[in-house]
């Protein structure tokens, strides 16, 4: 499958960079995106542009989706003119979106019923890592399916980790993003406290970054918060969605994600303030506005 024909759905902040890496790796690529305008750059580099997911999938060996949520994934795969109506027996279908565990499992079953093979393979990393081919794939699915898909995933990544059966990748991704969302919320609250308390913001934030609280995420997001640079790398509204999904999963397992609930409230306040389409760093603005 080294030079498979790939169908790729979803050309947002992440998907556009991932698709670019596939083209750079010499793969034949067909893309579909609801906003056709976002296909222009890839078409200029040799990608074919399909008019529907079904058309894109009909000649593909591997189908990859990178969309916003369960609803968008459902439309791409199972909707009218959906990809599963076009796949051939043996097609490897990969859902890279951050979705619920239930949906990953339902989609896996639907792919199998259609004669395909399925992986749920969400990623860690954001826009810059997608463009550089340095994502980390968190994979759920059969080992032999992963081996078939590995060259394709490798073209977009620096690591590929198998976590177990279908749904395992989705489950761990929600855990990862819940921890990230809590860190972003705590950082936003801390910067609001620092600025209102009269400390030198630059000095205080540098101390946080250099101490025990200074995770890689804190380093990255703190720089954006301090510069008030909210150019999207990870959309604020999508982190809110990920927190909601994580909380839903935790309730099924009788685990109370109190910190996720608190973080989600902060994110919802920012969305209400029309910051949802900005970078997650924009979460700090609500604490600068209050008072």
Where does residue 154 fall: left (phi above 0), alpha (psi -120 to 50 degrees), or beta otherwise? alpha
> CA nearest 93: which of 57, 70, 69, 119?
119
Catalytic annotation present for 173: yes
Answer yes or no: are the C-beta atoms of 16 and 232 closer than 8 Å: no
Task: State the catalytic residue, choosing from 106, 173, 241, 278.
Answer: 173
| Distance between CA atoms of residues 273 and 289, nearest Å | 10
Q: What is the 3-state secondary structure (H, E, C) of the chain?
A: CCCCEEEEECCCCCHHHHHHHHHHCCCEEEEECCCHHHHHHHHHCCCEECCCHHHHHCCCCEEEECCCCHHHHHHHHHCCCCHHHCCCCCCEEEECCCCCHHHHHHHHHHHHHCCCEEEECCEECCHHHHHHCCEEEEEECCHHHHHHHHHHHHCCEEEEEEEECCCHHHHHHHHHHHHHHHHHHHHHHHHHHHHHHCCCHHHHHHHHHHCCCCCHHHHHHHHHHHHCCCCCCCEHHHHHHHHHHHHHHHHHCCCCCHHHHHHHHHHHHHHHCCCCCCEHHHHHHHHHHCC
Give the catalytic positions in this structure: 173
């Amino acid at each position: 499958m080294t030079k498979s024909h790939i169908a790729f759905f979803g050309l947002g902040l992440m998907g556009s960079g991932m698709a670019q890496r596939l083209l750079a790796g010499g793969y034949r690529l067909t893309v579909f995106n609801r906003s056709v305008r976002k296909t222009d750059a890839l078409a200029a580099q040799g990608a074919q542009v399909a008019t529907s997911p079904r058309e894109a999938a009909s000649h593909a060996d591997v189908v990859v989706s990178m969309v916003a949520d369960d609803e968008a994934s459902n439309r791409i795969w199972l909707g009218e003119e959906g990809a599963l109506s076009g796949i051939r027996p043996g097609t490897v279908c990969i859902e890279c979106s951050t979705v619920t565990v239930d949906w990953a499992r339902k989609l896996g079953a639907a792919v199998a019923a259609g004669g395909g093979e399925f992986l749920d393979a969400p990623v860690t990393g954001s826009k810059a890592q997608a463009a550089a081919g340095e994502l980390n794939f968190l994979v759920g699915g059969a080992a032999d399916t992963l081996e078939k898909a590995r060259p394709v995933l490798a073209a977009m990544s620096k690591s590929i980790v198998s976590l177990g059966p279908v749904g395992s990748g989705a489950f761990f991704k929600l855990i990862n993003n819940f921890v990230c969302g809590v860190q972003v919320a705590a950082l936003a609250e801390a910067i609001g406290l620092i600025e209102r308390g009269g400390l030198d913001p630059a000095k205080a934030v540098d101390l946080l970054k250099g101490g025990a609280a200074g995770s890689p995420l804190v380093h990255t997001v703190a720089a954006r918060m301090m510069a008030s640079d909210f150019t999207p790398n990870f959309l604020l509204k999508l982190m809110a969605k990920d927190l909601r999904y994580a909380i839903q999963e935790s309730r099924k397992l009788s685990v109370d994600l109190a910190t996720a609930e608190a973080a989600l409230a902060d994110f919802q306040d920012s969305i209400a303030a029309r910051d949802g389409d900005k970078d997650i760093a924009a979460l700090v603005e609500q604490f600068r506005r209050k008072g």
